[in-house]
Amino acid sequence: MNTSPNALRIAKADQLAAHVDTEVGPLRSVLLHRPGNELKRLTPRNNDQLLFDSIPWVDRAQDEHDAFAEVLRGRGVEVLLLAEVLAETLTDPRAHTAGVHAAVDDRRLGGDLADSLRSHLSGTDPATLAEVLMSGMTFEELPAAEGASLVRKMHHPHDFAVDPLPNLLFTRDSSVWIGDRVAISSLAMPARRRETALLDIVYAYHPRFHGAVRAYGAHSAPIEGGDVLLLAPGVLAVGVGERTTAAGVESLARSAFADHIAHTVLAVPIEQNRATMHLDTVCTMVGRDAVVMYPLARDSLVAYTLRPGDDGGLRVEGPAPFLAAAAEAMDIDRLRVIDTGLDPVTAEREQWDDGNNTLALAPGVVVGYERNVETNARLEEAGIEVLRIAGSELGSGRGGPRCMSCPIVREPIPTHR
């Protein structure tokens, strides 16, 4: 097996221990995924199923993503790119074996074809295997068949033998750091389930994450990172809707309480539809005690409060209005909502375009899509610095700067803010 020349490059850059306990503490290190060939798999026939609303222009999406990464680097953030991290990880033979296992689905391919694909992939170099894991493989791209496989004969050459993962771009959802632990999500949609295996391999075998302790474990009830907001150290808000289930929140809360990485978890019901697939599509934090929120959600959001029960179980209270429950859990007087004051139509348009999906680089400094002109203007009027990025192509998968980033290191919030 080849060892890439830059193996362990990312590990060597490691100065910073993974730790994230707020949404807004100064961001120091983040995992992004520069969209690659997996986006070239999208067609008008499969884009709905693959959770894209249109067919992105891939080169432009990459340019937009490069500019996003540059904004972060310009503010002193270390940017880890998933494709590089994955290829480095696969130089470890144990990771390579796990990668081959993750790529091949016996149920889809049948025993014969699965065996021959496994043996083919076992001989590939780390970069090639990483590419297959991210971009998938069509039947036509499979290694030349010896003998006849009914499965192969009966599939269209353009059908996927290994599914592509166009939503890898949204690194927020597949894993989430809570304190010094990482939770690997259990993704709800079939199009995204295999992302879990990739993150699992990276956190298990990349030296950068050596010793990383898991939160949440291998639970199967769905949790997606886009639903998890770290409101304050020890306080999580978790959206329950199209993706994360109430059972998922219960398991996350149980394990977070047992690990002492949280003392309160708010379960926040959100509408079960595409526009609000995650809590971070309607609400993100922009300051220690401030959020930007879709105006129509402001008065309707509620929360159930979960705390550890005396008997080792969960104590559940509520529902109560979200803003009040959050302030109480965070031990502050009030959680401020930056009033975007938008008329309902503009608010709805900009919510759809991820206007509320900001990524905070520090208290009062956020990255947002430039197209959300009105929301950004209101944020600035409220004293928030908005670093604008283009997202015409990136946004076609319905995700903004927060969705496209998985913070790995955030400093504590400076006390004077």
Ligand X SMILES: NC(=[NH2+])NCCC[C@H](N)C(=O)O
Token code pair at residue 199:
């993150």
Alpha carbons within 13 angstroms on the beta-carbon side of residue 237 total 31
Number of Cβ atoms within 10 Å of the Cβ of 145: 13
Which string of x and - marks every residue 39-58 that binds ligand X (by CB under 6 A)? ------------x-------
Nearest to 230 by CA among 282, 182, 285: 285
Nearer to ligand X, 15 or 273 (CB): 273
Nearest to 168 by CA among 52, 29, 23: 52
* Minimum distance, C-beta of residue 249 to ligand X, in the bound complex (Å): 16
23 binds ligand X (CB under 6 A): no
Nearer to ligand X, 14 or 271 (CB): 271
Q: Which stretch binds ligand X (CB under 6 A): 76-84, 130-138, 199-207, 278-286?
A: 278-286
- Cβ neighbourhood burial of 180 (10 Å; 0-12, 13-18, 19+): middle
397 binds ligand X (CB under 6 A): yes
**Cα–Cα distance for residue pair 241/245, rounded to 1 Å:** 6
Nearest to 299 by CA among 276, 316, 320, 321: 321
Applying CB under 6 A, among 21, 64, 88, 173 the residue interacting with ligand X is 173
251 binds ligand X (CB under 6 A): no
170 binds ligand X (CB under 6 A): yes
- At position 232, the amino acid (one-letter code) is A
Q: If DSSP codes are grouped into helix, strand and coil, which group holds residue 414? A: coil
Nearer to ligand X, 288 or 398 (CB): 398
**Cα–Cα distance for residue pair 60/65, rounded to 1 Å:** 8
406 is catalytic: no
Applying CB under 6 A, among 226, 234, 248, 308 the residue interacting with ligand X is 226
277 binds ligand X (CB under 6 A): yes
Pair 232, 202: CB distance under 8 Å: no
* Minimum distance, C-beta of residue 247 to ligand X, in the bound complex (Å): 19
Nearer to ligand X, 277 or 290 (CB): 277
* Minimum distance, C-beta of residue 405 to ligand X, in the bound complex (Å): 9
Token code pair at residue 394:
């990136």
Nearest to 3 by CA among 100, 96, 99: 96
Q: Which stretch binds ligand X (CB under 6 A): 11-19, 264-272, 327-335, 393-401?
A: 393-401
* Minimum distance, C-beta of residue 251 to ligand X, in the bound complex (Å): 19
**Positions that interact with ligand X (CB under 6 A):** 51, 167, 170, 172-173, 192, 226, 277-278, 280-281, 397-399, 403
Q: Which residues are annotated as catalytic? A: 403
